[in-house]
Structure 1
Amino acid sequence: MQETTSRQRLAGVLILLGLIAQILAFTGWMPTTHIVSYLLWLAVALLWRDIPKRSRVQAGVLMGLGLLMLFVARFVYDAEVDWPAMLQGNAFVAAMLVGVSFISLVGKQQGRKKAPGKRLTGSGGILRTWLGVHFLGTILNMSTIIMVGDRLARSGPLSIPQYLALNRGLASAATWSPFFASMGVVIALAPRMEYSYVALFGLPLAMVSGLLTTFELGRRFDLSEVYGFSLAPRSLLMPATMALLVMVFHFWLTPELSIVGIITFLIPTVALLYNLHEGPRYTLRRIHQHTINRLPAMRGEISLFLSAGLLTLGLSTLVAAVAGSEWTLFESFGASQGMASFIGIVLSALAGLHPIIGVSVLASIVSLQGGEHTLFAFVGLCSWAVGTSVGPLSGINLTLQGRYGISGYRMMKNNLLYAAIMSLLTLGSIAVMSYLVT
C-alpha cells in the first residue's frame, strides 16, 4: 500500500470530522450543516491534485457552471442567494457514502477470499446481481451499489455487464420503493398521491427491467466469465442484517430520520461495536488506518458529488429566478402532459442534469388537482428510474465512476437501448394510469 502524505492524512481526518458533524446534526444538539459541507470541501481541496484527471476535469466544470449560474441569478436577475450555504449541495449524500465505507471494518482483513456460495456466471449471474441490488437497494439505497460492487470486485475489475446490472438494479427500485430517495421527493411535491396505484404500476415495470437487463446483456456480451452476486445466505448476511436494522430504526427507533440519515450513522456504529469486542486499542487502530488510508481514497466520489450538488443549486436558483412563480406550464396534468414531462426529464438527464432537477422544476410550474397528484408522482418516479440509469451525472453513475473508474458517458452509451425500451413501456403505463386516476 502506498504511503500516505501528511496532506492526505489531514484530508482523511477532515472527512471523518465531516461524518461526525453530520451524525451530530441528527441529534439536534447543534446545527452543523454548514460545518459538514465546509469540512468535506476543504478535504477535496487538499486532495485535488490526487483526483484522477478525468474526474478532476469533470468536477471542475460542474463547479464552474454552478458558480456561474449563481452569479447570473444574483447579479442579472437579482435573486436571493444564500452564499454561506452554497456548498451544502449533496454534502448529505457524500457523508452517507463516507459512513458506508466503514462497512469494510466489519470482519477482519484476511486477504482476498472467494465469495461464499456458488460462483454463478452467465445470464443467471447477471439476474442474481440485479435481484440482489434491486431488493436490497429498495431499503439501503445507494449504499447497496458499494456493498455489492465491492463483493464482485473481489474477483477482479468489474466488467461492463456487471456495471450495468448494478446500475439498472438500483435505478429501477425508484419506480416503487417507499424507502427510496425518489419517493421522498415526489411525496413532498405531490402529497396527495396514492401509493397503491404507484406500486401497482411501478413494481411490474421494475421486474421488466430485470428481465430486459438479463436478456439484453446475454445477447450483447459473452457472460461465460462474468460473475454474478452470490445469493448464498452467507453473502446476504451482512446486507440483509443492515437492511433489517435500517427498518427497525426507520419504523420504531428514529422514524423522524430519512433512510439516508439512518444509514449514515448506523453503519459506522455497527462497525465500531463489532470491533470493540477485540478491545479499544484494536478498534482505534482500525479506525485510524481507515481514516488515513481509505477515506482519502474516496476523493473521486466525494468531489463528484459535491460539485454536482453545486451545479444543481446553481441551476435551480437560476431557473427560479428566470421563471418566477406565477406562470403555469399546463392547465391540467393528464396523459399527454405526463408523457411530455417524462420525455423532457429523461432528455435533461441525458444532458447531464439529475432527474431531481427536472422533477422539482416541473412541480414548481404545474398546478395539481385530485388524482393528478398520483399521476405526477408516477411520472416523477419513472423519470428518476430511467434518468438515473442513463444520465452520466446521476448519483448512481457518479458513485460507479468515483469508486471504480467507469466513465459516466460510457454507462450512458451502454444504457441507451435499455432506456429507450423502458421509456416506451413507461409512456404506455402513464397513459393507462391517467385513465384510472384522472
Structure 2
Amino acid sequence: MPLRHALAGVLILLGLVQQILAFSGIVLLPHGVGYALWLATLLLWRDIPRRTRWQAGALAVIGLGLLIVSRWHYGAPVAWPTVTSGNTYVVAMLVGVSFIGLIGNLSGSSRPLGRPVTGRRGTAGTWLGVHLLGTILNLSTVFMIGDRLARRAPLTTPQLLALNRGLSSAALWSPFFASMGVVMTLAPSMEYSRVLAIGLPLALASGALTTFELSRRFDLTEVAGFSLSPRSLLMPVAMAALVMLFHFQLTPELGIVSIITFLLPAVALASNLPAGPRWTWHRVRQHTLTRLPAMRGEIALFLSAGLLTLGLSTLVAAATGSEWRLFAHFGALQAVISFLAIVLSAVAGLHPIIGVSVLASMLDLRGSEPTLFAFTALASWAVGTSVGPLSGINLSLQGRYGISGYRMMRLNLGYALVLSALVVGAIMLLDAWL
C-alpha cells in the first residue's frame, strides 16, 4: 500500500473526528475538516477514476474561478480560509456511514445474507433487499448482495437493473442517504415528515414498476434473486430507531445528518469492543487504511461540487446585488422544470448533486418552499442516478461487474420516463398539500 494512501486514510478519519468534536463545541482547527478532506483528496487524486477526476477537477476549477471573478471584478468579500468547507458535512456523514461495515459480520463474513430465489419473486426480493439495506448501508449494499448473487453465475441484466433501481430509489426518502444530507444542508427548514409521506410510496411504486417491467422484458425463470430474512432487517431497523431516538429525545438540537455522522461510528466501535481493544484497533486501522481511501471518488466529487456551489452563489450575489433569483416563487411548475433539467443534466453525464447545488444557489426559499425544493431535489437524484451513465451506482456496477454505464442508461430510459411522470404527479400533490 502506498504511503500516501495510508496518510490520506488518516486524514479522512481526522476530518471525521474533527466534525464529531465540533458537535460538542470543540474545534481543534477552524475549518480543519475541510483542510483534512481536501488534502486527502489531493493525495489520492491520481487514483480517482479518470472520468470522475476530470469531472471533479472541472467543478473545482470553475468554482475557484467564479470566486476569483467575484472578488476581483465585483469586489465581493470572499473568506478564502473557508472555501474548503463546502459539503464537508455531507462528506463527514458518508465517512461515518462507511463504519457500518464494521458492525457484526458485514465487513466480509461468508455468512449468507439470505437464500436466493428465482423468478419474479426473486427479482422483487433483490430490489427490496437493496432498497431496505441500502437506506443505511448505501452503495456497499449493492456489492454485498451483488457479490452473493454472482457466486452462482455472472450477473444478468435483470439482476443489475434491480440492483441499480433498488438503491437509487432509496434516495426518495432515506434519511441516511447522501442525497438527504445535501438537501438538509441546502434547505434545513424542510419538513421531513411530508417528504417521507410522498417519497416512500413513490419508492414502493418504483419497486412495483421494476418488477412488472423486468418480468415483461426478460425471462426471469432462472434469474436468481435475493430473499430477505428477519435477521437481515434487524440492523437497519435498529439503526433507524436509534437515529430517531437521538433526533427527538437525546440530542434534538442536532440534525439527522449530524446524528448519523457520530452515531454509526460509535455503534461500530461498541459492537467490536467486546472482542477486546486490540481487535477493535485492528478493525479501525484496517478500515482507515483500505476503505476510507477507496472513497476518494465520491469525496472528491462532493467537495468539488461544494466549491462550485460557493463560487456560483457568490458570483450571482455579487453580480445582482443579492436580488436576482431564478424563480420569484418556487411552486409546482418551477419544481417540475427544475426536476426535468437536473435529470437531463444527469443523462448528459453530470451528477445530480451538481444540478441540485446550482439550483439551490439561485433560489430564495421561503415558507413551505424548502419542503417542495427538498422533494424535487431528492426525486431528481433518484431518477438521475438510475439513468445517468456517470452516476456513482452505474460507475460502480461498471467497475465491479463489467456493464457499461451507457448501456445501463439505455436500459433505464423507459423506467426513468415512467418514474418521472409519477414524480411530476407527486410534485403537484405535495404543492397542493403545502
TM-score scaled by length of structure 1: 0.79
Distance 1:308 1:55 in 2: 12
Distance 1:392 1:192 in 2: 30
Tell me what 1:146 maps to.
Answer: 140
**1:276 deviation in Å?**
1.7
Q: Residue 343 of structure 1 aligns to a residue in which SS?
A: helix
- 1:297 is aligned, of 290, 294, 299, to 294
Structure 2 residue ranges without an equivalent (≥5): none
- 2:253 paired with 1:256: yes
Distance 1:248 1:36 in 2: 27
Q: Which amino acid aligns with 1:37?
A: G
Distance 2:307 2:157 in 1: 29
The C-alpha deviation readout for 1:249-301, integer Å capped at 9, x for no partner, is: 22222222222322222222222222222222222222223322333333333
**1:232 deviation in Å?**
0.7
Q: 1:419 to 1:361 in 2, by over 3 A?
A: farther
The C-alpha deviation readout for 1:138-181, integer Å capped at 9, x for no partner, is: 6x3xx433245434334448766555444433443454567765
The C-alpha deviation readout for 1:181-211, integer Å capped at 9, x for no partner, is: 5498479759587955x55654433322111
- 1:37 is aligned, of 26, 34, 57, to 34
The C-alpha deviation readout for 1:220-275, integer Å capped at 9, x for no partner, is: 55656655444112222332332222222222222222223222222222222222
The C-alpha deviation readout for 1:395-415, integer Å capped at 9, x for no partner, is: 766877899897766654443
Q: Residue 275 of structure 2 aligns to a residue in which SS?
A: coil
- Conserved? CA contact 2:132–2:236, under 8 Å: no
- 2:96 is aligned, of 99, 123, 129, to 99
Q: Which amino acid aligns with 1:356?
A: V
Q: 1:9-408 counterparts in 2 under 5 A?
A: 9-30=6-27, 34-107=31-104, 113=110, 115-135=112-132, 140=136, 143-156=137-150, 161-162=158-159, 164-175=161-172, 182=180, 185=183, 189=187, 201-220=198-217, 227-327=224-324, 335-351=332-348, 352=350, 353-354=352-353, 355-361=355-361, 363-364=363-364, 378-391=375-388
- Conserved? CA contact 1:113–1:154, under 8 Å: no
Distance 2:291 2:63 in 1: 29
Q: 1:171 to 1:420 in 2, by over 3 A?
A: same
- Conserved? CA contact 1:25–1:33, under 8 Å: no
Distance 1:273 1:190 in 2: 30
**1:425 deviation in Å?**
2.5
Distance 1:339 1:299 in 2: 33
The C-alpha deviation readout for 1:20-51, integer Å capped at 9, x for no partner, is: 11211122222656211211221222222333
Q: Residue 252 of structure 2 aligns to a residue in which SS?
A: coil
Distance 2:317 2:254 in 1: 28
Q: 1:379 to 1:19 in 2, by over 3 A?
A: closer
The more displaced of 291-300 and 326-335 is 326-335
The C-alpha deviation readout for 1:58-112, integer Å capped at 9, x for no partner, is: 3323322332233233333433332212222232222222223323323369965
Structure 1 residue ranges without an equivalent (≥5): none
Q: 1:126 to 1:257 in 2, by over 3 A?
A: farther
Q: 1:38 to 1:116 in 2, by over 3 A?
A: same
**1:128 deviation in Å?**
2.4
Q: Residue 277 of structure 1 aligns to a residue in which SS?
A: helix
- Conserved? CA contact 1:152–1:158, under 8 Å: yes
Q: Which amino acid aligns with 1:6?
A: L
Q: 1:199 to 1:56 in 2, by over 3 A?
A: closer
Distance 1:41 1:185 in 2: 22
Q: Which amino acid aligns with 1:212?
A: L
The more displaced of 404-413 and 74-83 is 404-413
The more displaced of 181-190 and 259-268 is 181-190
Aligned pairs, number: 427
Q: Residue 85 of structure 2 aligns to a residue in which SS?
A: coil
Distance 1:227 1:75 in 2: 60
- Conserved? CA contact 2:317–2:323, under 8 Å: no
Tell me what 1:421 maps to.
Answer: 418
- Conserved? CA contact 2:312–2:361, under 8 Å: no
The more displaced of 322-331 and 414-423 is 322-331
- Conserved? CA contact 2:119–2:220, under 8 Å: yes
Distance 2:293 2:174 in 1: 33
- Conserved? CA contact 1:375–1:433, under 8 Å: yes
Q: 1:147 to 1:21 in 2, by over 3 A?
A: farther
Q: Which amino acid aligns with 1:150?
A: M
- Conserved? CA contact 1:33–1:88, under 8 Å: no
